[in-house]
């Protein structure tokens, strides 16, 4: 499981840090011995300089390893806190409304009992989505998720996802700026998994958009992408820009990492930090790329996948 792999990585970093400190101590000891034993002043000076440089390099590596271990620990702790909260909330809802319904079956009206069942159903669906995210990420990481590549219209798939989100768009009075020509954009991809990516990106943009703003979508088929053999192949590029709270520039490279959420998105919002990590795994399984770009306002996400299947 991802959490176990993260713990193993932390242990490896801490072991490496301990080893580097021992090496630095040994180098310092050698430096002292060389000062006492070597009579050749020039050779001694040169050796001391080299040893000092090596000590500085090892010290820097120790600090980098320590920073990485601390960052991994913080990411793990934040993930566990978020996941505990996200799993507990729907589970608490299920148990609470089930208990209410059980104790009031003879006194409550049919309408109220029906409402209890509705809340149990909603909480159960939310819990299932969270567990599905965890299972999807685990399968993608170990390459056990089979992808069904078919030639399909990528633009039509996006339009279907937009139709699914029409109610959410209306709730926040968001306008769509959809640069579109009438021609289909054909490519080989797994329709279900790429829908999962587009839905996730749209959900994020809508969730963090300011009311009465615009979502800017663009789909192009005039791009190229390097395949596994470093050969340029025809590709399609999809971009989604919102006018919301945005992503800090120093976090642009990290938002697709597992268990990581932008500091602007982390507090007061639902989510475990798995959505964009799953998107990245799915796009990479299509031999594509997904990334974010810094913006003066809002956020911009782009993804590219090859139009055809690699040989």
- CATH code, domain with 122: 1.10.287.130
Strands 289-293 and 300-306 come out as: antiparallel
Contact 299, 225 (CB under 8 A): no
What's the rounded Cα separation, in Å, for the pair 31 and 11?
31
The pLDDT, as a whole number, for residue 44 is 66
Report the pLDDT value the prediction gives residue 273, as an integer from 0 to 100.
64
Tally of domains within the chain: 2
What is the extent of the structural domain holding 110?
Answer: 1-145
Question: When comparing pLDDT for 261 and 281, which is higher?
Answer: 281
pLDDT at position 153, please?
94
185 falls within a domain? yes
Do 161 and 287 fall within a single domain? Answer: yes
Residue at 311 is within a domain: no
pLDDT value, residue 304: 94
271 plus 189 within the same structural domain: yes
Residue 277 has pLDDT above 50, yes or no: yes
Instruction: List strands edge to edge, sheet with 232-241.
Output: 175-179, 214-226, 232-241, 300-306, 289-293
Tens of pLDDT, residues 11-38: 777 787 778 778 777 777 776 676 566 5
- 29 lies in some domain: yes
- Return the sign of the alpha-carbon dihedral for residues 247, 252, 256, 260: negative
Same-domain status, 177 and 123: no
Beta strands in the chain (DSSP E): 149-153, 175-179, 186-190, 214-226, 232-241, 289-293, 300-306
pLDDT given for residue 202 in this prediction: 94
Q: What is the pLDDT of residue 135?
A: 76
Q: What are 225's strand-pairing partners? A: 233
pLDDT at site 83: 67
Q: Is 196 found in the same domain as 263? A: yes
One domain, residues 223 and 298: yes
Do 159 and 264 reside in the same domain of the chain?
yes
Is the pLDDT at 111 greater than 70, yes or no? yes
Higher pLDDT, 228 or 120: 120
Q: Is the pTM of this model over 0.85?
A: no
Question: How does pLDDT run across 141-180, given as a tens digit for each residue?
Answer: 677 678 899 999 999 999 999 999 998 899 999 999 988 7
Residue 68 scores a pLDDT above 70? yes
Instruction: Label each residue of 122-158 as H, E or C.
Output: HHHHHHHHHHHHHHHHHHHHCCCCCCCEEEEEHHHHH
Same domain, 58 and 126: yes
Question: What percent helix, strand, coil does the chain show, rounded to 5?
Answer: 60, 15, 25
Same domain, 76 and 102: yes
The CATH number covering residue 157 comes to: 3.30.565.10
Same domain, 198 and 247: yes
Q: Are residues 141 and 184 in the same domain?
A: no
User: Does one domain contain both 124 and 189?
Assistant: no
Return the percentage of the chain with pLDDT > 70, whole number.
80
- Predicted local distance difference test score (pLDDT) of residue 300: 93
| Domain termination site, one of 95, 119, 145 | 145
As a whole number of angstroms, the distance between CA 69 and CA 227 comes to: 33
How many Å apart are CA 49 and CA 58, to the nearest integer? 14
pLDDT(225) > 50? yes
The three-class DSSP label of residue 293 is strand
- Residues 302 and 225 placed together within one structural domain of the fold: yes
């Amino acid at each position: 499981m991802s959490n176990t792999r993260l713990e193993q990585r932390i242990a490896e970093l801490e072991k490496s840090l301990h080893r580097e400190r021992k090496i630095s101590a040994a180098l310092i000891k050698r430096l002292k011995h060389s000062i006492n034993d070597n009579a050749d002043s020039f050779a001694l000076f040169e050796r001391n300089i080299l040893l000092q440089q090596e000590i500085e390099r090892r010290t820097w590596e120790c600090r980098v390893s320590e920073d990485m271990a601390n960052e991994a620990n913080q990411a793990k702790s934040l993930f566990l806190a978020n996941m505990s909260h996200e799993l507990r909330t729907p589970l608490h809802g299920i148990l609470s409304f089930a208990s209410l319904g059980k104790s009031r079956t003879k006194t409550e009206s049919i309408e109220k009992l029906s409402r209890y069942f509705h809340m149990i159903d909603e909480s159960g669906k939310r819990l299932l989505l969270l567990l599905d995210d965890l299972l999807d990420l685990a399968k993608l990481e170990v390459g056990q998720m089979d992808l069904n590549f078919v030639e399909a219209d990528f633009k039509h798939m996006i339009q279907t996802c937009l139709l699914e989100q029409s109610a959410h768009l209306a709730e926040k009075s968001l306008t769509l700026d959809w640069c579109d020509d009438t021609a289909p954009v054909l490519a080989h991809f797994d329709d279900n998994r790429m829908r999962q990516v587009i839905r996730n990106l749209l959900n994020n943009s809508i969730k963090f958009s300011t009311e009465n703003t615009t979502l800017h979508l663009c789909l192009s088929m005039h791009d190229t992408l390097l395949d596994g053999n470093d050969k340029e192949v025809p590709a399609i590029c999809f971009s989604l820009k919102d006018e919301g709270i945005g992503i800090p520039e120093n976090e642009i490279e990290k938002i697709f990492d597992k268990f990581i959420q932008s500091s602007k998105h982390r507090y007061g919002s639902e989510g475990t930090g798995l959505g964009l990590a799953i998107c990245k795994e799915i796009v990479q399984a299509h031999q594509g790329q997904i990334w974010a770009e810094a913006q003066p306002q809002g956020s911009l996400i782009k993804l590219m996948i090859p139009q055809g299947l690699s040989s």
